[in-house]
Amino acid sequence: MRLKIVQTGEPVLREPARPLTPKEILSADIQRLIADMRDTMRDAPGVGLAAPQIGLGHQLAVIEDREDLLKAVSPDELADKERTGVAFHVIVNPRITPVGDEKIEFFEGCLSVAGFMAAVARAHRVRVECLDENAKPRVIEASGWYARILQHEIDHLNGTLYIDRMHPRSFTTLDNYSRHWRSKPTTK
Ligand code: ZN
């Protein structure tokens, strides 16, 4: 089932989400929610969706960077962004730490700030400790675009949007991003 994605200004996007217990994660309600969030993310399409974006204050997000999304991006852009396929997975109650000091800057967007993009500096490499959809502990080490997705989604669980971290003067409509900025190299 496709869920409604709420837009910036909705209070739930600004509230810290609450952790889920292992029992809650394994419940029929949360398992159905995960399937619905997966369908909603694929339909959007997006590479991540956090529970607050569908109006629920749970520390849960789904992530997937599918091959058919990558096909629409040039090889140069994929290499520049260090963007590769990421299999569908779920993160619950995540704790994130940057690995090293390196930051890189790229344009990014958000399904809850529909129609806009901006340049955001983020850690190049991160480590995430979380639970998966089976309430099993999981450690994720990620770099490049996948690390950016994780930082963006985990920000949602803390009531933070990319517009809090963006370079304000880079804020652009999606249309103008495609016309003026997409082909330009971004400073690293
Ligand atoms: Zn977002």
Q: What is the pLDDT of residues 61-76, one digit of tens each?
A: 999 999 999 999 999 9
In this model, does residue 185 exceed pLDDT 70?
Answer: no
How remote is the CA of residue 160 from the centroid of ligand 1, in Å?
9
Name which of 52, 8, 64, 82 is nearest 158 in CA terms.
52
pTM as predicted: 0.96
Query: Could you tell me if residue 112 is inside a domain?
Result: yes
Domain hosting residue 160, numbered range? 11-181
Query: Could you tell me if residue 1 is inside a domain?
Result: no
Query: Could you tell me if residue 161 is inside a domain?
Result: yes
Q: What is the mean pLDDT of the chain?
A: 96
The yes-or-no answer on residue 15 being catalytic is: no
Query: Could you tell me if residue 188 is inside a domain?
Result: no
Query: Could you tell me if residue 186 is inside a domain?
Result: no
Looking up residue 155, the CATH number of its domain turns out to be 3.90.45.10
User: E strands, 51-185, where?
Assistant: 60-65, 86-98, 103-108, 116-123, 125-131, 137-143, 172-173
What is the pLDDT, as a whole number, of residue 34? 98
**Which tens digits make up the pLDDT trace of 119-169?**
999 999 999 999 999 999 999 999 999 999 999 999 999 999 999 999 999
How remote is the CA of residue 101 from the centroid of ligand 1, in Å?
24
Query: Could you tell me if residue 2 is inside a domain?
Result: no
**Which tens digits make up the pLDDT trace of 26-45?**
999 999 999 999 999 999 99
How remote is the CA of residue 112 from the centroid of ligand 1, in Å?
6
How remote is the CA of residue 16 from the centroid of ligand 1, in Å?
14
Classify residue 18 by its DSSP letter: B
Neighbours of ion ligand 1 (CB under 5 A): 110
What is the pLDDT, as a whole number, of residue 182? 81
What confidence category does residue 186 fall into, taking pLDDT thresholds of 50, 70 and 90? low
What's the number of domains the chain is made of?
Answer: 1
**Per annotation, catalytic residue among 64, 108, 133, 153:** 153
User: E strands, 20-100, where?
Assistant: 48-50, 60-65, 86-98
What is the pLDDT, as a whole number, of residue 27? 98
